[in-house]
């Protein structure tokens, strides 16, 4: 009975590994080891990857702005508008990733943009009500990172129980 349970556990683990590999688009043949990765030209093109699997992004460093003395009601309204704008940029495919820092320092958060130029990122960042109100300021930098970040939005939707 113990051997049967062990065989079932091993079978389940092997099935899980094969299932996970299929989920991420990795197909293995009998000759290939589990460490072999197969190039996915379709995803590479879809995510705009170069030959190294990388691409250019523009990061907006969001910093505390001069206008931070809002009433709690106004601050909540501004935060709701800020979050709505983040959702709109993500839905448009322009915002790959965004998030705040945990501390209460001068650097408040980051935006990772899927754009071709600093000017396009600046226009998108300027659409943020918190930037417009002077509660936040931005600094933009071009960044070279993994094209796999382009998949994060879709993956995140499968992990979030509550929509922000």
**Delimiting residues of CATH 3.30.70.1060 domain(s) in the chain:** 54-157
For the chain, the average pLDDT equals 84
Query: Which pTM value belongs to this model?
Result: 0.74
More confident residue, 32 or 148: 148
Per residue in 31-57, pLDDT tens?
Answer: 555 678 899 999 999 999 999 999 999
Question: If one looks up domain 54-157 in CATH, what number appears?
Answer: 3.30.70.1060
Ramachandran area for residue 163 (φ above 0: left; ψ -120 to 50: alpha; else beta): beta
22-38, pLDDT tens digit by residue?
445 555 555 555 678 89
Does position 14 have pLDDT exceeding 90, yes or no? Answer: no
Distance CA 123, CA 101 (A): 23
Contacts for 106 with CB less than 8 Å, ≥ 6 apart: 63, 64
């Amino acid at each position: 009975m113990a051997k049967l349970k062990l065989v079932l556990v091993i079978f389940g683990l092997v099935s899980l590994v094969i299932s996970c590999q299929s989920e991420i688009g990795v197909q293995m043949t009998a000759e290939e080891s589990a460490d072999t990765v197969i190039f996915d030209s379709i995803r590479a093109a879809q995510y705009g990857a170069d030959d190294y699997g990388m691409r250019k992004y523009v990061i907006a460093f969001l910093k505390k702005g001069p206008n931070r003395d809002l009433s709690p009601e106004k601050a909540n309204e501004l935060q709701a508008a800020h979050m709505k704008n983040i959702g709109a940029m993500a839905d448009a495919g322009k915002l790959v990733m965004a998030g705040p820092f945990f501390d209460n320092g001068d650097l408040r958060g980051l935006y990772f943009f899927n754009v071709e130029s600093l000017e396009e990122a600046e226009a998108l960042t300027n659409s943020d009500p918190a930037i417009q109100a002077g509660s936040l300021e931005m600094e933009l930098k071009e960044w070279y990172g993994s094209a796999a970040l382009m998949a994060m939005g879709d993956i995140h939707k499968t992990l979030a129980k509550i929509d922000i």
